[in-house]
Chain A
C-alpha cells in the first residue's frame, strides 16, 4: 500500500505538539490550572515532547521520499 504511515503520524503529532506548546506558554502563569499536575506545566512539556517526536517521524518519512526521487 503506497502510504508511508510515518507521514500522518509525524504530521499529527507535530500539530498536537505545536498546539500544546503554545497553549502551555500562554497558560504558564496560571498556577491554579497546574495545581492538578503538581505545579508542572505538563502542557508545555508534552507539547515539546510531541513536537520532537512528530518531527523525527516526519523527517524519516521525507528522507525516504527524497531518496526515491534521486
Chain B
C-alpha cells in the first residue's frame, strides 16, 4: 500500500479555510500589540478556560499525536501512563502549589523566576538551555511536518517546510503570544474533532472494546506477554519483563510519574507560560486543572486507535500496514489510519487536524523562545553590554518581534538537522529528561525551602545535566545501533528498551541535582534576605485571603475532581 493520499478539492478547501482562520486570528489581534507585555505575555488577560485549553494544546503537538498512536500499537494501553500517572499528579501540583509563586512573583518567565529566587547565573544557564531546546523542538516539528506533506500529499519537501514556517511566523509575528494561545484553542478543537471519526470507525471494525480485547489476545500472546497485557495499565508491571514498556511499576511511578512529569509540567516554560498568561492568580491556578480534564481523555482519541492498528496490521484482509521499505514505522500509524478509514471530505478534516497539531507545536515553541530571548537573554545580557540599560517598552516589542523571525529561521536550520534522527519521540524525551529533571529539583527546593542558595542551585542544575549526559553516554537500549541512543562514551549497562533508559536517566539527574543542591545550600552562605524571598518561597509568603464564591471556581475543588476521575480511569483500565 502506498503512502500517498488521493485528496479531492473539498479536502483542500477545508485546509485552506483553516489557514485563513489561523492567519485571520493573528490579523485580528494585531491592533492590540502595542507593548512588549501584550506581545510576549498576552497582557496577562486570558480567561482560565482559554489558557487551560491552550495549556493542553501546546502539549498536543504532532510529535505527541504521531508518537503516542505509534506507542499505542507498540505498548498498548500501557501508553496511558504518559497521560494519567505521567501528567495528572504533576498538573495538580503545579496548579495548587507552584502557580501562586510563578504568577504571584510577577516573573515573566521561568528563567526570570530563577533570577528573582536565586541569582543571575542560574537564570542565564536555564535561559540558554531552554532557548536551544525550544528551537530544536520547533525544528523537529517542522521537519516532520514537511516530511509528512512530501510523502502524504506529494508536495515538495523544501516548499512545505517554507510554507509551514511562513504561516507560523505570520500569526505569531502579528499577534504574539495571544495569537499563539487563541490558535492553540482552535487547534485543540480541530484535532479532537478531526480525529474523532477514526476512533469510531476503527473501534467499530474490531467490534468495540470487547472485540478489541478478543482480537488482541492471540497477537499479544504471540509476543510472549499475557493475553490482556495490551489492554491493561498496571496489571503486568510487577516485573519489567512481563510488559512491553520494559519497566517495573516503581520505575513508572518514580521515573514517569514523578521525575519526568514534574520536570515537564511544572518547569517547562512552554507549558507554564500559558498559565502565566491567565487574567488573575485564580485563573492561573485553574489553568492546569482545566487542561487536565481533556488530557485524561486524550488517550481514547489517540492511543486507542493505535491499539486497534495493532490488530489491523496482523490481519492481512484489512490491507493495513505501516511497513516502509520492509521496516515497521510506528510514527506512521495515525497517518495510515486516516488513509484506511476516511473518504474524501472528512479526510481533509483529519489532515487539517494533523497540520494543526504540527503548528501548535511550532508556534508554542516560537512564542516561548521569543519571551525568553527578549527578557532573559537580550534584556539581561545584550542590552546592558551596549551601555543603554533603560530601553523603552517599544524597543522590547521590536526585539520580541525580531526574535520571532530569528526563532523561525533557526528552526528551519534545525529542521534540516532533525532529518538525521530516527525515533523522534524518544529522542525528544531524552533531551527533556536531561534539562527538566534537574530544573525541577532546583525550582522545587527553591520554592519550598528558603535556605536554598543561588550557588547551590546553579551547581545542582549543571551537575544534574552533566550526570544525565554521562548516564546517557554510558548506557544503551538493547539493539540500538546509533550513538544517538546512548553509549557514546562506552557501554556499562544495557536497558531492555529505550523507555527504561530515559526513565533512569531522569531519575539519576534528579537525584544528583537535588542532593547536591541540598548539601551545598547548607554549606554556602544565604545571600537573599527573608524579605527578598516574599512571594517566591512558600514559608515566606502570606496565604492569600481571596475567597472564591462559586465552588466550581475553587482550584482545590477542581483538583479533587480531576484526581478522582484519574483514579477511576486507572482502576477501570487496571
Contact = CB atoms under 8 A, between A and B. Distances in A.
Nearest to B177: A1
Given A42-B201, A46-B196, A12 B18 contact: yes
B308 to A, nearest CB: 13
Interface string B1-39: 000000000100110011001001100110010000010
Contacts of A34: 343
B29 A37 contact: no
A1 B29 contact: yes
Interface string B163-206: 00000000000000010001001100100010011000100110
Interface in A9-53: 9, 11-13, 15-16, 19-20, 23-24, 27, 33-34, 36-38, 40, 42-43, 46, 49-50, 53
B25 A46 contact: no
Contacts of B29: 1, 3
B341 A23 contact: no
User: What are the 4 A-B residue pairs with the smallest beta carbon separation, nearest first?
Assistant: A43-B345, A1-B178, A12-B21, A5-B182
Size range of the chain A interface in the assembly: 20 to 34
Contact of B10 (A8, A23, A38, A53): A23
Contacts of B429: none
Contacts of A8: 21, 24-25, 28, 182, 186
Contacts of A12: 17-18, 21, 186
15 contacts: A1-B45, A3-B32, A8-B25, A8-B186, A12-B17, A12-B18, A12-B21, A20-B10, A20-B346, A23-B345, A37-B201, A37-B346, A42-B346, A43-B345, A43-B346
B2 to A, nearest CB: 15
A8 B193 CA distance: 16
B201 A38 contact: yes
A38 B204 contact: yes
B212 to A, nearest CB: 15
A5 to B, nearest CB: 5
A38 B45 CA distance: 46
A20 B345 contact: yes
Interface in B35-53: 38, 42-43, 45-46, 50
Contact of A15 (B10, B17, B189): B17
A6 to B, nearest CB: 9
Given A9-B185, A38-B201, A46-B197, A16 B17 contact: yes
B312 to A, nearest CB: 13
Contacts of B189: 9, 13, 53
Contact of B343 (A19, A37, A49): A37
A57 B349 CA distance: 19
A43 B343 contact: yes
B340 interface: yes
B197 to A, nearest CB: 5
A68 B18 CA distance: 29
A22 to B, nearest CB: 10
Contacts of B45: 1
Interface string B344-361: 111001000000000000
